[in-house]
Amino acid sequence: MASVLPVIFILALVLGLMACAWIVTPKGPQQTLVRTSLMLTLACCYLMWMISYMAQLHPLICQCTALRPINPANLLPPSAPRVSIKG
């Protein structure tokens, strides 16, 4: 549950910044463009941060704990000649 709290907190912060961008945008012919650009930028930055944050907390691929040593002979194609080294 602790992983959800920063996501909600940052979401509230971004929504507050979006509201500020809506209010503070200067009047003019490009007001809609500037407002949309600022809000879209904030939304994209939040989504990128949230996806990266959640991917670090809950990875899709779990760690392998039982690793086996690789036999180099198994990496050769079947048609390759097998050479045995006797020491």
- Domain edges within the chain: 32-58
Interval 33-70: pLDDT, tens: 999 999 999 999 999 999 999 888 877 776 666 666 77
CB of 50 within 8 A of CB of 7?
Answer: yes
Interval 4-38: pLDDT, tens: 899 999 999 999 999 999 999 999 999 999 999 99
pTM of the model: 0.65
Specify the pLDDT at position 60: 77
Specify the pLDDT at position 4: 85
